[in-house]
Amino acid sequence: MGGFLSGKKGLILGVANKRSVAWGCAKALRREGMELAMTYAGDRLEAGVRQLAEELEVETVLPCDVTKPDEIDALVDGVGNAFGGLDCFVHGVAFAKREELKGTYLDTSREGYQLAHEVSAYSLPAVARRAMPLMEDRKGSIITLTYIGSVRVIPKYNVMGVAKAALEASVRYLAHDLGPRGIRVNAISSGPIRTLSASGIEGFNSILDQIAERSPLRRNIDADEVGDVCAFLASEMSRGITGSTIYVDAGYHIMGI
């Protein structure tokens, strides 16, 4: 298979179903010829993720709940056995308790704060550190997914906004730590997309409408557009970019009004 990522090996965390942003990334990476491993978070998602993996001819499917250090260790062992090395790691994982995404940030609970940060921010360095021996000196690329709620107030995004700020800062520190080993680290800040993680969010339709009305491109974006930027960041075309957050949001982030 041709494609500008052929010969490269990638690991992708965060595919839950066909609407997942990580699925858009997986499709783009496969299209460009990357060999992939995928994970599922918990038994409930296993069958669905295995079926999706089959669609893309992805053979390596492993469990990984990022709150379980043993599962991250086993994941990296499994990827090492399957591939022998790793060029790309896509992190598409986020979680906060539903009650934290209602009401005010002021009311964030200690456990809610800790869980959101553990799953949505700490998991990036946690997986990256363990994957390091597989990625060293291969011009590797680490890519995570973030949202503008890290730098602007989006009502109800609450503790997730604070966790995304930590995630984006993490991207910069990891870029500094891993640059000397030839590994780049970047984030894609996606505009809103109707996924499982966006379902049941109060006011989501109105946010989509406002972006269609006000963004420079006068429309919303989809997971395939995020996937294409992910493929670019995974490739040597982006070899001069690290520590950055790239917006794929139809230009919405430039607006002041």
For ligand IMJ, the binding residues in 53-72 under the rule CB under 6 A are none
Q: Cβ contacts of residue 83 below 8 Å, gap of 6+?
A: 9, 35, 37, 60, 134
126 binds ligand NAD (CB under 6 A): no
| Contacted by 143, from ligand IMJ, ligand NAD, none: CB < 5 to 8 Å by type | none
Q: In angstroms, give the least distance from the CB of 201 to ligand NAD.
A: 9
159 binds ligand IMJ (CB under 6 A): no
For ligand NAD, the binding residues in 85-124 under the rule CB under 6 A are 92-95, 119
76 binds ligand NAD (CB under 6 A): no
Give the one residue of 165, 166, 207, 212 binding ligand IMJ; rule: CB under 6 A. Answer: 207
Q: Check if 105 is active-site.
A: no
For ligand IMJ, the binding residues in 168-197 under the rule CB under 6 A are 192, 197
66 binds ligand NAD (CB under 6 A): yes
The smaller minimum CB distance to ligand IMJ, of residues 198 and 241, is found at 198
Residue 18 · residue 8 · CB < 8 Å:
no
93 binds ligand IMJ (CB under 6 A): no
Q: Which amino acid is at 83?
A: F
Q: Torsion over CA of 229, 19, 76 and 54, rounded to 10 degrees?
A: -110
Q: Check if 157 is active-site.
A: yes
- Active-site option among 147, 173, 247, 252: 147
| Contacted by 101, from ligand NAD, ligand IMJ, none: CB < 5 to 8 Å by type | ligand IMJ
168 to 197: interface string for ligand NAD, x by CB under 6 A: ----------------------x-xx-xxx
**How far apart are the C-alpha atoms of 155 and 148, rounded to whole Å?**
12
| Contacted by 98, from ligand NAD, ligand IMJ, none: CB < 5 to 8 Å by type | ligand IMJ
52 binds ligand NAD (CB under 6 A): no
**How far apart are the C-alpha atoms of 30 and 27, rounded to whole Å?**
5
- Active-site option among 157, 173, 247, 252: 157
For ligand IMJ, the binding residues in 12-51 under the rule CB under 6 A are none
Residues with catalytic function: 147, 157
